[in-house]
With several copies, the nearest count.
Chain A
Amino acid sequence: MDNYIKFNEERTVTYKPAGSGKIFTDPDADKMREYFRDQKPRKMVDKASSIDRVVKELVNDGDYIGVGGFGANRIPTAVLHEIVRQQKKNLGLAGHTATHDFQILVGGKCIDRCDVAYIVGLEARGLSKSARRAVESGEITLTEWTNAALTWRYKAAAMGVSFLPVRCMLGTDTEKYSASVEMECPFTGSKYLAVPALYPDVGIIHVHRADVYGNCQIDGIMVADNDLARAARRLIVTTERFVPNEYIRRDPAKTVIPYYLVDAIVEVPFGSYPGNMAYEYFSDEEHLRAWLKAEKDEAGFSDFLQRHIYGVSDFNGYLDTIGGLKRLQELRATENLVEK
């Protein structure tokens, strides 16, 4: 019978830091175990709150943030706007396909460091002038990664280990500006990169429905949100709608975020606007174009932010500035392929 261990004796190997990037968050799994034991709200009690309050109470200057969804799909816009409105400063960000979310936070000058996989662009829509200005000025410290690397960094944290071995980034400048470590497999001797667990101070996720305790359902793709929810020290959830706990218990296989991960939850209908919310409403491409256009000069952008964020008191106020329910109904029709 074969024994597939290539190396069956003790041996020394080399761990070689492969990148010059900084690690912005502590990957230590034991420290996080203690944090989770002592601080995670295991009480299954009503955690419904308001946007204003969750940002005041759960987001501190200097925090490192992980945003759910995918750039302009299922993003927690209300919380992002409120972070800008409350002028939070020196935030770190996991730039895991950060598109409109990055644009909002950089617009508010909230970020000073970023783990980059994808920033400054809005995919097929083009590049954000404002975000590029900020990054090109050097005011944001960057460590380079990839979408998979960041996803696996969340997964390491979610699994409760301080690193995972991966096979991307190898041989490139992306590796050189990351903070990964070259190592080898104990069994095969194959080369791997180790990436450190990423435990954000705050995770912010928008979901389709949840009960007031924080048991959440998401329809369609998960992106990396199940792992992000498990990795975050504090977790803020916004939900399109509350449902009774009984609804959650009807199909427990659909619960992707259990209550004991959630610190606070806020009902925010159309909460991903102008992003896409699967089965609910399509992205508002017109408004996203308006963002990109407004960024072309700084004064114009200032006015734009004033009109849509600083000058309104809450997310419903923002929705009024873009045409309110009428516009949202159009986006609902687009999402559901209803002919106009």
Chain B
Amino acid sequence: MEYNDMELMISLASRYLEDDSIVVVGTGAPCAAAMLAQKVYSPRLMIMFEAGGIGPLLPSMPISVGDSRTFYRGLVASSMPEVMETCQRGLVDYTFLGGAQIDRYGNINSTMVGTDFQKPKVRFPGSGGANDLASFCWKTMMITPQDPQRFTDKIDFITSPGYLTGPGAREEAGLPPGSGPYKVITNLCVIGFDDETKQMKVESTHPGIEREKVIENTGFELLWADDLTISEPPTADELKVLREEVDPYRYIIGRA
């Protein structure tokens, strides 16, 4: 069955969202992954949005994490402090982040490119809630295209914490123990984090993707799982639900 990169990434991400857990998502691919998970694997997955929406029956993809879709027929229409405090309290299992750069420890830059903070070469939005979610949620995931500019150790600004400088660094910084990056899902492979070194470790490459291609598209040295596998492609069921129910207008999956 034919599928594009975005469909592949969303399908793969959806499988990591366990039932009876809570995920805070933004708009776009992460929201699509959470919706897909709800419809295929985890009917009781609880979706939260950082502006206050909790447990909506999403009628369509939200445009903003604060728009009215995010609490349409929801369980709670709350507030930003309520959602952030629920995260800080340790109740939220998963979140998804995006960014312009990511390093081997899963640290993410969504603030700026350049060296002068007050006069950056390129300015991005900044943390928004990303730093908070990366600090508080137990498992942080990322859905992103992979290229050597994006996957780099020369990260210009750490907006949101991954494992910082390695083992023990999060705890030393005062971040809640046990939390941190979990999976990075790219157009080439699925990457986890090595338990000992806290560095990126490729767990599976996508069908047709050579190891070499992954290496070429990464600006730092990757670890490789001993039991490296081939990513399971999207199932017919995943694709059907994704195309017909989750994103019928192809807002997200049309971007690939």
Contact bitstring B163-183, A, C-beta under 8 A = 1, else 0: 010000110111111100000
Question: Are A170 and B175 in contact (CB-based, < 8 A)?
Answer: yes
Given contacts A147-B80, A167-B175, contact A259 B75 (CB under 8 A): yes
Query: B158 is contacted by which of A35, A70, A172 (Cβ under 8 Å)?
Result: A172
A residues less than 8 Å from B170 (CB atoms): 171
Alpha-carbon separation in the docked complex, A264 to B159 (Å): 38
Q: Does B135 lie within 8 Å of A221, measured CB to CB?
A: no
Take A42-B20, A279-B68 as given contacts and tell me if A252 and B120 are in contact as well, using a CB distance cutoff of 8 Å: no
CB neighbours (8 Å) of A310 from chain B are: none
Chain B 86-103, CB within 8 Å of chain A: the 1/0 string?
A: 111111010000000000
Contact among B26, B88, B90, B128 for A117, CB-based, below 8 A: B128
A16 to chain B, nearest CB (A): 12
The answer for the CA separation of A15 and B159 in the assembled complex, in Å, is 23
Q: Is A337 an interface residue (CB 8 A)?
A: yes
* Main SS class of interface, B: loop
B76, B107, B138, most chain A CB atoms within 10 A? B76
**A168–B126 CA distance with the chains assembled, in angstroms:** 14
Instruction: Verify B111–A173 contact, CB threshold 8 A.
Output: yes
**In the complex, chain A residues whose CB is within 8 Å of the CB of B55:** 252, 258
Is residue B132 within 8 Å, beta carbon to beta carbon, of the partner chain? yes
Q: How far is the CB of A193 from chain B (nearest CB, A)?
A: 8
Q: Is the interface of A mostly helix, strand, loop or mixed?
A: mixed
Return the chain B residue nearest A136 by Cβ: B123
Q: Which residue of B lies closest to A74 (CB)?
A: B66
Q: Which residues of B contact A225 (CB under 8 A)?
A: 79
Contact A253 B126 (CB under 8 A): no
| Max chain B C-beta neighbours (<10 A), residue from A40, A127, A220, A255 | A220
Structural contact, A97 and B128, CB atoms closer than 8 A: yes
Q: Which of A152, A157, A337 contacts B81 (CB 8 A)?
A: A152
Minimum CB distance partner of A224 in chain B: B80
A72 proximity list for chain B (CB < 8 A): 64, 67
Interface hits, B52-82 → A, CB 8 Å: 52-57, 59, 63-68, 70-71, 73-81
Interface pick from A5-13, A26-34, A314-322:
A26-34
Cβ of B224 within 8 Å of any chain A Cβ, yes or no, is: no
- Interface membership of B106, Cβ < 8 A: no
Contact of B126 among A118, A157, A193, A223 (CB under 8 A): A118
Instruction: Give the chain B neighbours of A250 by CB distance below 8 A.
Output: 73
Interface on A for B, CB 8 Å cutoff?
29-30, 32-37, 40, 42-45, 69-73, 95, 97, 99, 116-121, 123-125, 127, 132, 135-138, 141-142, 144-149, 151-152, 155, 157-161, 166-174, 177, 182, 190-193, 215, 219-227, 230, 248-250, 252-253, 255, 258-260, 276-279, 282-283, 285, 335, 337
Chain B residues with a Cβ under 8 A of chain A: 20-22, 26-28, 44, 46, 50-57, 59, 63-68, 70-71, 73-81, 84-91, 93, 107, 111, 116-132, 135-136, 138, 157-161, 164, 169-170, 172-178
A-B contact pairs, 24 of them (CB 8 A): A33-B176, A42-B91, A44-B20, A70-B65, A123-B26, A135-B123, A138-B119, A144-B117, A146-B127, A146-B130, A146-B131, A158-B85, A160-B88, A160-B90, A171-B169, A182-B174, A222-B52, A222-B78, A223-B51, A223-B79, A230-B85, A252-B77, A278-B77, A285-B63
